[in-house]
């Protein structure tokens, strides 16, 4: 197991380049198997979720080469349609292969996905969307078994804008016969990225209006090269790190237009945020104020993935902050660990009430999920003394090298490993 030790008390200062988007990369990798040929993805983050997805691609028959953020996928010889249970159980995003395998192979065996502890994330919307396209999906021994004689265009209506279900519907519809129209689709930037990727491969996907996507099925796709956008969640994490430490940072390549609600919250807290084509400049030297109330919501609302980093920053703000979580029922797991460091956080159901304190103190804490682990590192940066964050394997699922990045901003960190018996 991994640990990161942080010596806190130094404001973040300097420049760091933001990695490619995790949440965009995973469905795009799944989408590559729709094409019987070559796909090149540039600026792909070297994170464990990507590495596990590559393992899945190789199990399905793809030839993959990954070097210096450049990923080449040759999917011309895909023959398998079953994802091994040990791979699928490691990460939630394995479910995204349902749509692409049905589109390419007309059948798929997917293990119930794992890899996350923040909520139930039911698969009913995925199933309903793909069944509307003509799939038959059953459960067998912990696997979802999906088959079709041929997917056909349909009208799909989502009662909730699920990101994963929207992605699966798009992937299933690309090679389907006829036209598919999706109503109530998720609007996250990662959906736009997937559509842009598929259109560059020859798909015919049109955004009609808010929440409505039209897909005209095509017979085949083509070779392509695609450059991933920067990760808005990583950028937001480092932004809240600057606020927690009262620092000044430049987030190179940060996608400011995708971060409107995050930037609004940062400004409410007293931070100055200036956008440019090359990134975001954040001056948080006077970011002492509470944002008072923040509610997570589907895009363009405040992202649930940044709720935990916000908890850290709000713990050091003057006054009280209420945070309401509307996406995942178990996303306040980080609160108990922050309390070990002196944070005053009370959780009731899907709401957390944070009373700001003058300082946090170093402690030994445990990451219990990806974004919560990053939030604990931010707390260590702001705390007096030394903090050790354990179970850092969670963090490497979404951050290419969080220690490297934070060292670029002047942070003092060490890394190591420990056995379960210690």
User: So which residues are the catalytic ones?
Assistant: 116
Specify whether the CB–CB gap between 150 and 134 falls below 8 A. yes
Residues 201/15, Cβ–Cβ less than 8 Å: no
Q: Which residues contact 264 (CB under 8 A, 6 or more apart)?
A: none
Strand order in the sheet with 272-276: 13-17, 248-252, 279-283, 272-276
Distance separating alpha carbons of residues 163 and 301, to the nearest angstrom? 14
């Amino acid at each position: 197991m991994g640990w990161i030790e942080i010596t806190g008390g130094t404001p973040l200062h300097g420049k760091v380049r933001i990695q490619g988007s995790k949440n965009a990369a995973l469905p795009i990798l799944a989408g590559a198997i729709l094409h019987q040929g070559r796909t090149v993805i540039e600026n792909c983050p070297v994170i464990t979720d990507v590495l596990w997805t590559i393992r899945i691609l190789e199990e399905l028959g793809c030839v993959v080469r990954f070097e210096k953020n450049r990923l080449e996928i040759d999917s011309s010889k895909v023959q398998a349609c079953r994802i091994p249970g040990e791979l699928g159980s490691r990460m939630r995003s394995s479910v995204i292969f349902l749509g692409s395998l049905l589109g390419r192979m007309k059948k798929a065996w997917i293990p119930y996905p794992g890899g996350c502890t923040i909520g139930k994330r039911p698969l009913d919307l995925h199933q309903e969307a793909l069944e509307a396209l003509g799939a038959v999906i059953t459960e067998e021994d912990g696997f979802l078994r999906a088959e079709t004689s041929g997917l056909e265009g349909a009208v799909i209506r989502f009662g909730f804008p699920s990101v994963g279900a929207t992605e699966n519907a798009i992937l299933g519809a690309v090679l389907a016969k006829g036209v598919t129209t999706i109503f109530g689709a998720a609007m996250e930037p990662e959906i736009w990225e997937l559509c842009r990727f598929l259109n560059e491969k020859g798909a015919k996907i049109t955004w009609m209006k808010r929440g409505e996507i039209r897909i005209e099925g095509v017979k085949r796709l083509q070779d392509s090269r695609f450059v991933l956008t920067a990760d808005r969640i990583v950028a937001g994490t480092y932004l809240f790190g600057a606020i927690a430490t009262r620092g000044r940072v430049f987030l190179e390549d940060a996608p400011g237009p995708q971060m409107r609600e995050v930037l609004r919250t940062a400004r409410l807290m007293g931070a100055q945020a200036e956008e440019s084509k090359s990134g975001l400049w954040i001056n948080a030297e006077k970011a002492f104020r509470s944002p008072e109330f923040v509610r997570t919501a589907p895009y363009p609302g405040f992202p649930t993935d940044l709720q935990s980093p916000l908890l850290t920053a709000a713990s050091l703000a003057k006054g009280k902050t209420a945070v309401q979580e509307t996406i995942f029922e178990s996303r306040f797991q980080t609160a108990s660990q922050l309390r070990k460091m002196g944070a005053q956080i009370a959780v009731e159901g899907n709401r957390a009430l944070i009373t700001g304190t003058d300082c946090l103190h170093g402690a030994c804490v445990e990451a219990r999920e990806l974004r919560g682990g990053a939030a604990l590192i931010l707390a260590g940066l702001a705390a007096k003394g030394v903090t050790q964050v354990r179970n850092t394997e969670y963090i490497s699922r979404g951050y290419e090298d969080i220690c490297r990045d934070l060292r670029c901003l002047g942070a003092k960190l060490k890394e190591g490993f420990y056995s379960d018996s210690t």
